[in-house]
Amino acid sequence: MAFHILDEGARCLQCKNAPCKASCPIATDVPEMVRLFNDKKLNEAGQLLFENNPMSLVCSLVCHHDGQCEGSCVLAKKSSAVHISSIEHYISDWYFDKMKIEMAPKLNKRVAVIGSGPAGITISFILAQMGYDITIFDAKDKIGGVLQYGIPGFRLPKSVLERYRKKLLEMGVKIRPNATIGGALEIDDLFRDGYLSIFIGTGVWRPKTLGVRGESLGHVHFAIDYLANPNAFDLGENLAIIGMGNAAMDVARTAIRNGVQKCTLYGIEQKPAANPSEVSYAKLDGAEFEYNMEIQEILPEGPVFEQVLRDEEGNAIGTSEEKVLKPADSIIISISQMPKNKIANTTDGLKIKESGLLFTDSEGKTTVPGIFGAGDVVHGAKTVVEAVAYSKKVAQAMHEYMQAL
């Protein structure tokens, strides 16, 4: 492993106008990272990574590198890209537990962070370093949000999130698990108790539905529920998945690892919406794909589809109207998620969009002074690195807001 990583570092061309950096949503200075790595300066490389991206250890594992830094590597045009993700992971993994975070003097100003996903962790890291007294409220029992309950352990080991929990506690961050804001406690209670600023990063945990007959039958499940605790489900041997996004790939690969013998993904389009590498891994694991399939209803025997008809340009022009039953023991629906609305329903003046997403400006400010938002609850389901990049801007806006009080 180490020799492989060293060889990869030596391959880097140290481009001046590095396309790898330009294509990174958080502008990681890849050439400098690799240069420090090649010079055996792991502390400096780790510091560079974490000052720019507090979630570097996670991003090194779950980012879609082939569509970002590695996909833009100059060497990819002639041979193969430098394996940037492996170098970043080696540095981040080595550095994380050794990392000594410089903390500013305490400001005696409280901040509530609702949700401990990528956005909430990023906000907590940044503002805690600035001297703010941070309390994280999370409806689940463990931190991580979608990282904990939406990404399978074979892609992101849960031990990584436990390391983040320990690091946050080490920084003085307080964590209240199993604490739903909008239930026993509401936003007004937080302001009453002296929180000057409140961050909402509650994610998107409400599954979107198909709206077809049979969706409430006992053998039908939603992807976000399944991924949260796969061991709670008995799917049988033959699984049908409706949808072909990244979450659907995670469902397929998890289900196959948990005993499903036949797993078929059905999509209405001509190709998957998921990242190509995720599709490749799903196929490698044994998943099958059927395209141009429009769901009509779900029966106890399985989902029923009509074939989508297309013209020569590939545009949909209707369906075959011939209903085809695809036998399955279980069906999992994976067509994206939307936010739950407990906080919006219990907070006067907090505006949400028609889609249910939280309304904010470009700095994460909501329609209620002192309340900010970022992550999937604002932009819908996006990548971890996109959530982190935006949350850095929001953390700065929260700091400026509180400094002015």
Say what the pLDDT of residue 3 is: 53
Distance separating alpha carbons of residues 55 and 75, to the nearest angstrom: 27
Residue linked to tokens 């990681």: 28
**Average of per-residue pLDDT across 16-24:** 96
**Per-position DSSP letters for 279-315, written without gaps between them:** HHHHHHHT-EEE-SEEEEEEETTEEEEEEEEE-TT--
Q: What is the pLDDT of residue 334?
A: 98
| Separation between Cα atoms, residue 374 and residue 114, nearest integer Å | 11
Q: What is the mean pLDDT of the chain?
A: 96
pLDDT digits (tens, 9 = 90+) for 313-348: 999 999 999 999 999 999 999 999 999 989 999 999
Q: How far apart are CA 8 and CA 10, in angstroms?
A: 5
3-state helix, strand, coil in the chain (%, to 5): 40, 20, 40
User: Mean per-residue pLDDT for 215-219?
Assistant: 98
Tens digit of each residue's pLDDT (9 = 90 or more) over 284-315: 999 999 999 999 999 999 999 999 999 999 99
Measured over the CA atoms of residue 187, residue 192, residue 198 and residue 202, the dihedral's sign is: negative
- Per-residue model confidence (pLDDT) at position 341: 86
What's the pLDDT score for residue 2? 54
What is the average pLDDT across 212-228?
Answer: 98
Q: What is the percentage of the chain residues whose pLDDT exceeds 70?
A: 99
**Amino acid in position 308:** V
pLDDT at 4 (0 to 100): 85
pLDDT over 90 percentage in the chain = 96
Other Cβ atoms closer than 10 A to 363: 15
Q: Which fold has domain 208-336?
A: FAD/NAD(P)-binding domain (3.50.50)
Q: Are 26 and 119 in contact (CB under 8 A)?
A: no
Residues of the chain with CATH 3.50.50.60: 110-205+339-403, 208-336
pLDDT for the residue 77: 87
Per-residue pLDDT, averaged over 178-192, amounts to 97
Domain with CATH 1.10.1060.10 in the chain: 2-96
Q: Say if domain 2-96 classifies as CATH 2.70.98.10.
A: no
Torsions phi, psi of 19, nearest 5? -65, -25
Task: Transcribe 311-369 into DSSP letters.
Answer: -TT--EEEE----EE---SEEEE-S-EE---HHHHTSTT--B-TTSPBP--TT-B-SST
At 402, which helix (H) or strand (E)? helix 384-403
- Arithmetic mean of pLDDT, 121-134: 98
Residues 59-106 have pLDDT tens digits of 999 999 999 999 999 998 888 999 999 999 999 999 999 999 999 999
What tens digit of pLDDT does each residue of 137-156 get?
A: 999 999 999 999 999 999 99
Give residue 239's pLDDT.
98
Q: What is the pLDDT of residues 372-403, one digit of tens each?
A: 999 999 999 889 999 999 999 999 999 999 99
What pLDDT, on the 0 to 100 scale, is given for residue 338?
Answer: 92
Give the pLDDT score at 78.
Answer: 86
**Domain 110-205+339-403: homologous superfamily in CATH:** FAD/NAD(P)-binding domain (3.50.50.60)
